[in-house]
């Protein structure tokens, strides 16, 4: 579930709750989720320090300590961040907890354990080592950059949108939303689109993601015409009332409206 808009909402939540507070204890409940560093080392390098700022790159979130290391969060399919003022409150599957002095606790919850927490010295180095493309909403990644990044691709547009080396941040759910808003079938190939159409896809991507962030990813705040709350086989299309269908595209469950988005190309 967590894609760029979710990550940005987590980031703002972290900024609003967890900056400039001394970290009293880092509690690792499940060390499977902590990568590249032992739980003891993670605690040693953070305890007594504090977070001073954060940044996002695609689906990755970094919380910086100023002179010290950054904590990297990746949320896998089921991860999220929660903060409670009451230090005894917990989520259902807490994996790593940052207990602050003067109360307050930041919880990394990850039911399906595909997320991770690690320490990095410099986010930019880590991003380039990883081979991640530009953050999908970053300043420089405009319609031209988007079109050029996709040129020559032979596969599905959906796959290209989700390819983190081309651009970082779009996942399965938002790729469906972008295709729905553009009225493109999930099996549309990149090659089938003109330059103009590709640029329109970029504009839609930007609009959809920014709108979702403004709504803080809360269903009731999303525009009525969004597919997201109706991503279910047999659900009603929020645009035409047709029936939402599910197909597999490159092994990913893809939801779309055959009425709006047409039949399978070719």
Partner DNA sequence: ACATTGACCTGAGAGC
Partner DNA sequence: TGCTCTCAGGTCAATG
Nearer CB in complex with DNA: 88/154? 154
Q: Which two tokens stand for residue 103?
A: 């109360």
Residues 113-132 that bind DNA (CB under 7 A): 113-114, 130
Minimum Å gap between C-beta 173 and DNA is 5
Whether residue 3 lies in the annotated active site: yes
Q: Which two tokens stand for residue 255?
A: 């939801």
Please measure the distance between the N-terminal and C-terminal CA atoms of the chain and give it in whole angstroms: 31
Binding-residue pattern over the window 142 to 181 for DNA, x denoting contact by CB under 7 A: ----------xxxxx--xx-xxx------xxx--------
**What sign has the CA pseudo-torsion 240, 246, 248, 254?**
positive
- Sole binder of DNA in the list 9, 11, 58, 161 (CB under 7 A): 58
- Sole binder of DNA in the list 231, 239, 256, 261 (CB under 7 A): 231
Residues 12-31 that bind DNA (CB under 7 A): none
Establish if 251 lies at the interface with DNA (CB under 7 A): yes
- List helix spans (H) across 35-122: 39-46
Nearer CB in complex with DNA: 224/251? 251
Residues whose CB falls within 8 Å of the CB of residue 128, separated by 6 or more in sequence, listed in order? none
The answer to whether residues 189 and 197 touch, using CB atoms and an 8 Å cutoff, is no
Whether residue 154 lies in the annotated active site: no
Catalytic: which of 45, 113, 153, 252?
252
Residues 192-221 that bind DNA (CB under 7 A): none
Whether residue 165 lies in the annotated active site: no
Select from 168, 163, 141, 216 the least CA-distant residue to 3. 168
Q: How many CB atoms lie within 10 A of CB 25?
A: 13
Residues whose CB falls within 8 Å of the CB of residue 152, separated by 6 or more in sequence, listed in order? none
List the catalytic residues.
2-3, 59, 252
| Contact positions vs DNA (CB under 7 A) | 1-3, 32, 58-60, 74, 76-78, 92-93, 111-114, 130, 152-156, 159-160, 162-164, 171-173, 190, 231, 246, 250-253
């Amino acid at each position: 579930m967590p894609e760029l808009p979710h990550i940005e909402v987590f980031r703002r939540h972290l900024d609003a709750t967890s900056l400039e507070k001394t970290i009293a204890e880092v509690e690792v409940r499940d060390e499977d989720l902590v990568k590249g560093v032992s739980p003891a080392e993670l605690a040693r390098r953070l305890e007594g320090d504090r977070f001073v700022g954060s940044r996002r790159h695609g689906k990755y979130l970094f919380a910086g300590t100023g002179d010290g290391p950054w904590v990297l969060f990746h949320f896998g399919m089921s991860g999220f961040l929660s903060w409670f003022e009451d230090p005894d409150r917990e989520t259902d599957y807490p994996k790593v907890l940052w207990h602050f002095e003067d109360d307050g606790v930041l919880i990394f919850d990850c039911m399906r354990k595909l997320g991770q927490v690690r320490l990095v010295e410099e986010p930019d180095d880590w991003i380039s080592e990883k081979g991640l493309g530009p953050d999908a909403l970053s300043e420089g990644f405009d319609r031209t950059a988007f079109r050029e990044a996709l040129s020559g691709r032979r596969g599905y547009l959906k796959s290209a949108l989700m390819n983190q080396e081309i651009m970082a941040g779009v996942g399965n759910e938002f790729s469906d939303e972008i295709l729905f808003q553009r009225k493109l079938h999930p099996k549309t190939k990149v090659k089938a689109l003109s330059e103009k159409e590709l640029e329109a896809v970029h504009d839609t991507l930007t609009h959809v993601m920014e709108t979702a962030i403004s709504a803080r990813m809360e269903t009731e705040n999303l525009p009525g015409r969004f597919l997201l709350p109706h991503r279910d086989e047999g659900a009603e299309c929020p645009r035409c009332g047709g029936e939402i269908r599910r197909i597999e595209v490159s092994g990913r469950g893809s939801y779309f409206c055959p009425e709006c988005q047409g039949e399978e190309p070719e």
